[in-house]
Amino acid sequence: MTAIPNSAEKQTKDFVKYQVTERVGYITLARAEKRNALNFEVVSELKRAFAFAEEDDACKVIVLRAEGKVFCAGADLEYIQRLQENDYHENLLDSTHLMELFRMIYTLKKVVIAQIHGHAIAGGCGLAAICDFGFTVPEAKFGYTEVKIGFIPAIVKVFLLRKIGESRAKQLLLTGDLITAEEAEKYGLVNYVVPADELEKRVFAFAQKLCNENSKQSMEVTKEMIARVQGMGLEEGLQYAAEMNAVARGSEDCQRGIASFLNKEQIKW
């Protein structure tokens, strides 16, 4: 892993690393020899890392990145092959384990940015897409190839439908075709395509912008509302929004922010 100045570093076990630099928490997949493929242990370590980062007061924004040439190749197929010997209930426990990771990232209190330096395929594409923001290099390929090996993109589709809509999701999930980084940006899978030699600094600058310019509390509540309101009907959603609006007005961050604006003072969050 590239050394970053002025950082506190923590290794969760073998496959995932965690460190903080200037309030940016980096969670790094470190299974390069297996193209950062996901198995039970990797998912467990990712869950521990995200749980740690969420409670870490030194971390305000999280970046998910990876070592090696590939961001994440999806499920470890040798591991999946071994799971075929399991019964339904054993497989349900394992798939629930992965579901919990995706749900954790989606509902995490802190903003999560994917720093995608290489291909993101199948579950790896789901991992990238589940993040709140995605930065990728032009050379990266994206796609959900499960149908090509007789598998299904079961868990990722729940979040993909929310992110890019039914038409785009069908195009990706039913064809199993890979798309370019530029196409991924057009689809809404990622937000920015940047040159490889600029990726790390661009992601860090964006994370710093969120850290310095935005209220932690406001980002947390806004992210939670985005996740919850999509499951509500119109009237329920509007009532929920009005109630949250009223609560926010009395928050300390709102009072601080408005006072600073009215007094023409620069606030640093």
Active-site residues, by number, are 146
Query: Edge-to-edge strand order for the sheet containing 179-180?
Result: 120-121, 141-143, 179-180
For residues 183 and 124, give the distance between their C-alpha atoms in angstroms, rounded to a whole number.
17
E strand or H helix that includes residue 168: helix 166-175
CA 168 to chain centre: 19
For residues 265 and 261, give the distance between their C-alpha atoms in angstroms, rounded to a whole number.
6
The candidate with the shortest Cα–Cα distance to 38, out of 99, 89, 88, is 99
SS3 state of residue 223: helix
For residues 265 and 269, give the distance between their C-alpha atoms in angstroms, rounded to a whole number.
12
What is the gyration radius of the CA atoms in the chain, in angstroms? 19
Cα dist from 80 to 37, 44, 85, 114, 226, whole Å: 11, 16, 9, 25, 33
